Structure 1
Amino acid sequence: MQSKRKLLLVGWDSADWAMIRPLLDAGKLPALKRVIEGGCSGNLLTLQPVYSPMLWTSIATGKYAFKHGIYGFTEPDPQQGGIRPITSLGRKTKAFWNILSQSGLRCNVVGWWPSFPAEPIQGAMVANSFGEEPKSIDSFHPLRPGAVHPPELAEEMAELRVAPDEITGSMILPFIPDAAKIDWKKDKRMLSLRLQLAKAASMQAAATHLMATTEWDLTAVYFEMIDHLGHHFMSYHPPQQQHVSDEDFALYQHVMEGAYRFQDMMLQAQIEQAGENCTVMVLSDHGFHSGETRLASTPAEPAGIAAEHAPYGMIALSGAGIKQDQELIGLTVLDIAPTILNLFDLPTGQDMDGRVISEALEQVPNIPPITSWDDVEGDAGMHPEDLQIDPVAESEALQQLVALGYVDNPGEDKNKAAEDCVFELEFNRALSYIGALQLDEARTLLETLVEQRPNDARVHRRLFNLAIQAQDASTAMEAVERITAIYQQQTVEAGEKLAKYKDLDELTDPQKQQVSELLKIHPLAESERLLMQTQAYLAGNENDKALEALEALKAIGPSTAGHLELTARAYTQLKDWHQALKYFEAALQKDGNSASAHLGKAMAAMALRDYHIANEAALEALKRRFFYPRAHYIYGASYFRMHAPQLGLQPLQLAIHQSPRFTEAHEMLANCYQKMGDSEKAEFHRKNAAELKGAQT
C-alpha cells in the first residue's frame, strides 16, 4: 500500500532556537529557513529527565517513559550479567513506524535512539549502532548482526559508512579554521569532531540511499551530532566564558556554528531527494544551553552532563497539508507521534499522552481515536521476546557511553553494575511520573529508593520538590537538612580520597578522570540551601522568613533567575503586586523561557488591572507550556476585562478541560456568556461553579 502522502522526519538532537535564530538571520541555514518560511514552527517542550533515549522514544510513541519502558542509557544484561547500552528490546509499546507498518505503509527509519536491534518493519531500518565509533581512526567494527533490516541490505549499507580518517583537514577547516595549529594525535577534541562528522555522514548516506532506492511513505532519520559536539565544544562558543583560555576560544569558537550549517546542508540534500510533494518535519528533543546560561562544570552525578540540556527543543514543518506562517505554541515532544498518525489518516490511541498539532494542518481528518494501538492485532514489525544480542559488541558500545560521560564506568563487579543500573532506571521512572503529574506514584517510588540508598541526595531533592508542591513545609525543611548533611559527608569523603593522590603529574588517565570527578564534589552551596529554605517557608506561609532568607541570599552574590522568581513568589503571597511584578520581570530578563515566571507576571499584572500586560504574559507562558490551566484562565479572563468576552471563551474552556474542578474558570466563563447575551450558558457555568464550591466546603 502506497500512501498519497510522504513524510520526511529529521531529528536534530539538542537543536536550539537560541543557536538557530542568529544563523537564520545571517542567511547561514537556507534549507531550514525555507522549511520555516513555508510552514509552521515553534518551541517543543521536553520531558524530565532530559535523556535522549527516553525522549526520542516518547517522540516515537507519544507516551511518557513509564508507559513506553525506556528509562535511560543502559539496561541490565540478562545474558552476561552487568549492564549494556539501552536497546529497542525494552520498549513495551508500538512506535509510529510499527503502527504505519501494520497499516500497510512503508517506512525508512535511520539512526533512531535506541533502535538496535533493528525491527522487522515493512520497509527498512538502520539502527543507531550503524554509525558507532570504529576500533581506530581508520578501522570499522564489522557491522553488527541486527544493525540493518532487512538483513540482505546489511552488506550494501555497510559500504556507505564513512570512517573518521576520511574526514580530512580541508573538511575540518569550516569548523576549526586554524586546525593546522593542533596536534591531531594528542588533542582528543579533534578526534571527537572527526568521529561525529563521520557518524553524521554515515547516517546521511544511509538515509539518502534508502530514499533513492526504495518505495517509502515515511523516512525518519536521527542525528546526534549537535548534542555530542555541544558537550565537547559549546563551552568555546561565543561569547567567551571566563574559564576558557584565549587559545582554546580562538581555536574552537566556530565548531557549533559549523555543526548547524553541516546539518542544514544535509537537510537540503534530504529535501531534494524526498521530492516536491513531501511534508518535511525537523525537530529536536530538547535544547542546549548557550550564551550566559552555560554551566562552568556539570554535576558530579550519573548522566550529569545532561544538565547542559535546555528545556525547549524546536520544531519546523512545511509542505503538503501544512499551513504557512503559523506560530506553534504549547507543544511537547509527546505531540509528534499523534500528529504523524493524523497526517496518514490514522487514528491516535487514547493511551497516547500527546495531541495532534491540528493548528498546523490545513485539514484535520475527523478520525475518532481508538483505545490503544497495542490492542490492534497483526504484524507490526516488533521483536520477538526471546531475541538475543552479541554481548561483546554491546560491551564496546557501552565504553562509548562511558567516554562521553552519560554513564559511569561499570567496573568489574557485574552485580553491582546491574544493581546501580536498576536504581538509575527506577529513579528516572519516578521523574517520568512527576512529569505526568502522577505524584502519588512518584512519591511511593522515591520513598522506596530512599530506603535502598538513604544518602542519595538526588532522591531527597525530588521528595523536597513534591513536598513543596503539596505545601508540606515541615517535610520540605527536613529534606533540606538531610540534603545538607549528605553533601557535607560527600565532601569529607572526597577530600580523604584526594589526599591519596600525591603527584598529580604521574596519574594515569583513569586516575585523572577520578580526580576530576572528586573535585566537582563540594558542600551544598549556601545559595542553594537558602533557595530551598525559601521555598519551604513559602509553602508554610512564613513569608517574612522567606524574605529574610532571600535578603541573605542577595548578600551572597548576583541573583539568579531562580532566586528572582522565588522573591517574586514571596511578594505574590504577601499580595505586594508591584514588587512581585518587578521581580518576575527581572527573572525573565535572566531566563526568558521560564513559563512559570511569565505566568507569575500575568497574575501580578492582572491584580494590578494591567490587563494588556496580563494577556501578553499569559500567552508567553502558554507558548512554552500548553497544559497550564491557570495561564489559560488569565489569558481568557484578561480578554473579558478588556471588553472582548468572545475572545475569552476558548482559553477559559481549555482551562476547564485541563482542570475540570476549576471554579474560577467556570465563574469567568459565565461572565463572558452573560456579557454576550447567552443567559442559558451563563447559568450552566454558574451552577457548575456553585456545585464545585459546595463540594469543597
Structure 2
Amino acid sequence: MNKNKTILIGWDAADWKVIGPLIAKGHMPSLKKLINEGVYGNMSTMNPPYSPMLWSSVATGKTPDKHGILGFVEVTPNQKALRPVTANSRKSRAIWNILHNQGCKSNLVGWWPTFPAEPINGVVVTDKFQKVKTDPKKESPIVKGTIHPEDFVQKLGNFRMFPWEVTKEHILPFIPNAAKIDQTAKTNHLISFAKILSQNVSIQNATTYLIRETEWDFMGVYFDLIDHLCHAFMKYHPPKMKNISEDQYDMYKDVVNGAYRFQDMMLGRVMEMIDDDTTIIVMSDHGFESGDKRIFKMPKVAAAPALDHRQFGIFVARGPNIKKNEKIFGMNLIDVAPTILHHYGLPIGKDMDGKVILDIFKETHTPKMIESWDSIDGDFAELSDEKEVDPLSDEETMEQLIELGYIEKPDEKKETAILKTKCELKHNLARVYLGKKDYENAKVLLLELTQEEDPIDLGPYYVDLVKTLLKMDNFDEAEKYMKKFKSIKTEVKFNTHFLESDILLGQGKIVKALKVLLDIPQNNRFSPELSYKIGNIHYINREFDKAKKCFEASIEALQDNPKYHKSLAQTFYMLGNYEESAEHALIAIDLVKYFPSAHYILGQALEKLGDIENAKLAYETAARLTPKKYHIAEKAVENVIEKMELDFDLINKSNFKYRENQIVIVSGLPRSGTSLMMQMLDKGGLKTLIDGKREADESNPKGYYEYEPVMTIHKDNSWLDKAQNKVVKIVAPLLRHIKKQYRYKIIFMKRDLHEVIQSQRKMTGKDTDILPVKLYNAYVDQLKKVEAWKEREPGVELIYVDYVDMINNPKPVVDTIESFIGKDLEKDLMASCIDKSLHRNKVNN
C-alpha cells in the first residue's frame, strides 16, 4: 500500500480569510505550492465547534454522538475527579485502527485526543507529549502512555522544547517590539506565547524525526499553533478593534500573521522530506473570526472562546491521484476518514456519517461499502482496560485549557465540579443532536438538564430547548419554556429577541414578530442575522423588494453564509429574476453541497429559464439529499419532461470562392473544438499564425494553437496583416474587433452549449453537474450576436461546423471545409487528427 502513502496535517482554526492575503503577498509559499499542485476548498465544521470533538470526527468519519468524545474534559472512571479528555472515551475505530487491521504502519503526532497511546503498528506520540511545565525548576517527565512503543520515549524525549528555551530570535519575528514589554504587567503575553510556540515546535520536531527515521504508510499530525495564538492575539490583529489601545495594537498586531507564516515554514520542511508519491492533506476543523465579528469580551458561557470559531475551515490536498489546481466544494469534517479509506482502496462503513470526496481524485471508482468497521472482529490495536493515571500529569493540560478559556477553573468542591462537567457533556451531546436535526433526542436531553438544581445555571439549557422546539414547529411549547426561562436566574446575558420573534412568527403573529426585531436597542441594531430575520418576515409578507434589500445587506456583511444566499435566491425567483435566483442558489450549494432547499430553488429558476434537463437534475438532487420524502421536489421532477432546444437557427453565409490574401479564422465559444480545427487545418496544408506560448495540457493534450496578441485585439488589431493567407484562432466575443479592410473566411465551431459549459467547468475545477445559467444565456446571446454580425459584414464569409458531426463523421465536414476555403487540402491528414477519446464531455440526448 506504499503507493497510497498519505500524511494528514491538522492546522486547528486555519482560515482562508487570513491565508488569502498572506498568499497574495508571497508569505505562505508552501501552502500556495500545494494549492497550485492539488485541490483546495472550504471545510465545513459541526456544532458545537470544540476541537477534541471535531478532530475525533475527522479520524472516525462520525459525529460525536457516535464516537463519544463530547468535550474538553471528562470525569474519571472512578467518578472522583476530572481530567482532560482521553482516547479512552472514543467509542469508534479511527483511521489508524483500521489501517493497523489492514497491515499498514501509521504514525500519529499530537492528535487530539490520543492519550493514552493505542498500540498500533507504528508510532503514536500523543497530545500529552508537548505539554510541559512552564516553571524550569519543575520536572516534566514523559508519563507512561504518552508514547507508543516504549522504546521511542528515549528517542523522542530530547525533541521536546520548553518555554524557557524560547529566545528573542524566536519572539521577534512575531512581536518585533517585544523588548518594550513590561514583564510585570498583566498585559504581558510573552509567557503564553512562549508556551504555545514551544509546544508546536515539539510537535514539528517529533514529526520530522518520524518521517525520516521510520517506515510508514499513514501519518496524522495535529498543530494547535494557529488556534491558540488566535485566541490569545486575534483581538490585536488588523483592522484595529476600538477597544484595543494603540500601544497594545502596535505591540501584538503581527502575531496572528506570524503564526500562519511559521506554520507554513514547518509545512515546507515536511514537504521537503516526502516524495512525490506521497499524498499530503492540510486541513482545519473550523475557521476563526478575524474581522468585525471578533468578540472583545467573552460572555460567561461554557467554552466561550469557541464563539470566535467560523463555520468554514480549509482543505488542501496534493498527490499522484489528486487533481491539480482545482477548487472543490461541499466538504465536511466527517468526509475526511471515508475519503482516506477510499484512497487506500478500503471500504467505507455504512455507519459513517461522512461520504467519500470523489471530486478530489483524477481517477476513481465507486466506493466499496461494509456495514461497520466497529463490528468486525480482529486486531485493531485498541486500548484494553483503562489504567489509573497520575492526576499531576494532567495539570499542565488543564491549566492551559483554563488559560485559553475553554473550561472554567473547576469548583473547589469536587462533587460540584463533577456535576457541572457531566451537565456540560450532556449539553454538548444535545447540541450535536440539534446539529444533526435529531430534534427528539435533543429535546429529551435538554428537558432533563432543565431539571437540575443549584449551582447549575439552567439558562443555556432553556435557550437551546426553545431553539429545538422552534425547529420542531412546536411554537406554543416554545413560548411556554421561554416564559420559564425569563423566570429563572442566569449568569449569562442572553439576547432572546430572535427567539421571541420566531415564536410569534410561528404563531402567525407577523406584525408583532417584526416589531420585536425593530425594537432591538440601537447599540445591537445591525447584524447580518437581524437583517436576515427582518428580510424573512418581509418575504412572508410578500414584500419581496424589501426582503431583497435585507438579504443583500446580510450577504454584504457576511458573504459565506449559505442560508442568506438561498433566501436571496428565493426572493429573486419571486421577483421574476431567474438568472440571479439561480446564481445565488449555486453560491449556497457551493458553500454547503448538501442543501436540499437550495437545490430545489435552483431547479425552479432553471425551469423558468427553460433549462429543463438541469432543472430536473436539481430537483432530483433535492429529493435525494432529504432523509424524508421531499414531496414538492418529487412532483417537480415528474413535471420536468423535455430538454430545452435553441430557439433560433444558425445559417451559413458563404460563396465558397478563394480570395487572394484572405484570412481564415477559426472561431467559436471557448471549449467548442477550435483547437482541434486549427490542428486539422495545419495538417491540411494551411499556414497557421501561432506562437506556442500556451502549452498543451490535460484539457487540450494536442495544443491550443493560439497567438497571444489575439487576446488584446480590442486594443490593437494592427497585427492582422500578418494573418493574410494564414489561419488564426479568434474566439467569438472578439470577432467584432477585426479590421474591415481584409477578406475573412470564418469557420465557426458549433457545439451543444451544455457540453461547452460542462467542459469549461471541468477545466476550471468546478462541478460539472451544475449549469451556470447566467453563462448559458450569455452564450446563447453571443451566438445570436455573431449570426447578426456576419450578415452586416460584407468582407466576412462564415460557415458553422458541428463539433459532434465532425468527430463522428469527418469526411463530409472536411469536404465542406475544402470547398469553403477554395484550395486543395490534405483531407486524409485532416481527418487523421480526430481522436474520439478526447470527446469527454458529452450530453446524452
Distance 1:318 1:577 in 2: 45
Distance 1:39 1:135 in 2: 40
Q: Which residue of 1 aligns with 2:503?
A: 536
Q: How does 1:52-131 map to 2 (within 5 A)?
A: 52-79=51-78, 81-131=80-130
**SS in structure 2 at match of 1:220:** strand
Q: How does 1:582-661 map to 2 (within 5 A)?
A: 582-659=549-626, 660-661=628-629
User: Which stretch shifts more, 162-171 or 47-56?
Assistant: 162-171
The answer for unaligned runs of 5 or more in structure 2 is: 646-845
User: Which stretch shifts more, 448-457 or 305-314?
Assistant: 448-457
Q: Which has the larger radius of gyration?
A: 2
Cα offset, 1:3, TM superposition: 2.7
**SS in structure 2 at match of 1:4:** helix
Contact 2:182 2:188 in 1 (8 A): no
Q: Which residue of 2 aligns with 1:311?
A: 311
Contact 1:133 1:400 in 2 (8 A): no
Paired letter, 1:30: P
Cα offset, 1:534, TM superposition: 1.3
**SS in structure 2 at match of 1:281:** strand
Residues 121-157 of structure 1 show CA distances to partners (whole Å, capped at 9, x for unaligned) of: 1111100001113241576511111111111111111
Q: CA 1:555/1:203 → structure 2, altered by over 3 Å: closer, same or farther? A: closer
Contact 2:439 2:471 in 1 (8 A): no
Question: Percent identity among equivalent residues?
Answer: 34
Q: Which residue of 1 aligns with 2:782?
A: none
Q: Are residues 1:370 and 2:370 paired?
A: yes
Higher helix share: 1
Cα offset, 1:676, TM superposition: 6.4
Q: Which residue of 2 aligns with 1:333?
A: 333
Residues 543-571 of structure 1 show CA distances to partners (whole Å, capped at 9, x for unaligned) of: 11112222222755531111101001111
Q: Are residues 1:558 and 2:558 paired?
A: no
Residues 332-383 of structure 1 show CA distances to partners (whole Å, capped at 9, x for unaligned) of: 1111110010111111100000110001111223342100001122111110
Q: CA 1:171/1:6 → structure 2, altered by over 3 Å: closer, same or farther? A: same
Q: Which residue of 1 aligns with 2:356?
A: 356
Cα offset, 1:597, TM superposition: 1.0
Distance 1:651 1:278 in 2: 37
Q: CA 1:293/1:246 → structure 2, altered by over 3 Å: closer, same or farther? A: same
Q: TM-score, normalised by structure 1?
A: 0.89
Question: What is the RMSD of the two structures over their aligned residues, measured on CA atoms?
Answer: 1.8
Q: Which residue of 2 aligns with 1:669?
A: 637
Q: Which residue of 1 aligns with 2:739?
A: none
Q: CA 1:408/1:83 → structure 2, altered by over 3 Å: closer, same or farther? A: same
Cα offset, 1:181, TM superposition: 0.5
User: Which stretch shifts more, 247-256 or 289-298?
Assistant: 289-298
Cα offset, 1:606, TM superposition: 1.4
Q: Are residues 1:473 and 2:475 paired?
A: yes
Contact 1:36 1:317 in 2 (8 A): yes
Distance 1:138 1:278 in 2: 43
Cα offset, 1:441, TM superposition: 0.8
Q: Which residue of 2 aligns with 1:509?
A: none
Residues 213-248 of structure 1 show CA distances to partners (whole Å, capped at 9, x for unaligned) of: 111111111000111111110000001111101110
Cα offset, 1:455, TM superposition: 4.8
Q: How does 1:422-437 map to 2 (within 5 A)?
A: 422-437=422-437
Q: Which residue of 2 aligns with 1:212?
A: 212
Q: CA 1:434/1:576 → structure 2, altered by over 3 Å: closer, same or farther? A: same
Contact 1:138 1:163 in 2 (8 A): no
Residues 413-464 of structure 1 show CA distances to partners (whole Å, capped at 9, x for unaligned) of: 2222211111111111111111111111111111111112485111111111
**SS in structure 2 at match of 1:41:** strand
Distance 2:523 2:350 in 1: 50
Contact 1:118 1:148 in 2 (8 A): yes
Cα offset, 1:37, TM superposition: 1.6
Q: Which residue of 1 aligns with 2:402?
A: 402
Distance 1:356 1:650 in 2: 21
Contact 1:595 1:624 in 2 (8 A): yes
Residues 451-500 of structure 1 show CA distances to partners (whole Å, capped at 9, x for unaligned) of: 124851111111111122122222223333333343xx346xxxxxxxxx
Cα offset, 1:645, TM superposition: 2.3
Q: CA 1:137/1:619 → structure 2, altered by over 3 Å: closer, same or farther? A: farther
Distance 1:45 1:650 in 2: 24
Contact 2:88 2:386 in 1 (8 A): no
Distance 1:413 1:158 in 2: 36
Contact 1:628 1:658 in 2 (8 A): yes
Q: How does 1:483-494 map to 2 (within 5 A)?
A: 483-486=485-488, 489-490=489-490
**SS in structure 1 at match of 2:132:** coil
Q: Which residue of 1 aligns with 2:3?
A: 4
Paired letter, 1:280: I
Q: Aligned pair count?
A: 641
Residues 285-341 of structure 1 show CA distances to partners (whole Å, capped at 9, x for unaligned) of: 011111111012112022111111111111111121111232221211111110010
**SS in structure 2 at match of 1:291:** coil
The answer for unaligned runs of 5 or more in structure 1 is: 492-520, 678-697
Distance 2:221 2:518 in 1: 51
Contact 1:298 1:308 in 2 (8 A): no
Paired letter, 2:472: A
User: Which stretch shifts more, 326-335 or 646-655?
Assistant: 646-655
Q: TM-score, normalised by structure 2?
A: 0.74
Q: Which residue of 2 aligns with 1:482?
A: 484
Q: CA 1:485/1:238 → structure 2, altered by over 3 Å: closer, same or farther? A: farther
Paired letter, 2:545: H
**SS in structure 1 at match of 2:100:** helix
Residues 8-43 of structure 1 show CA distances to partners (whole Å, capped at 9, x for unaligned) of: 111000001111111111111111111112121111
Distance 1:636 1:316 in 2: 31
Q: Are residues 1:155 and 2:150 paired?
A: no
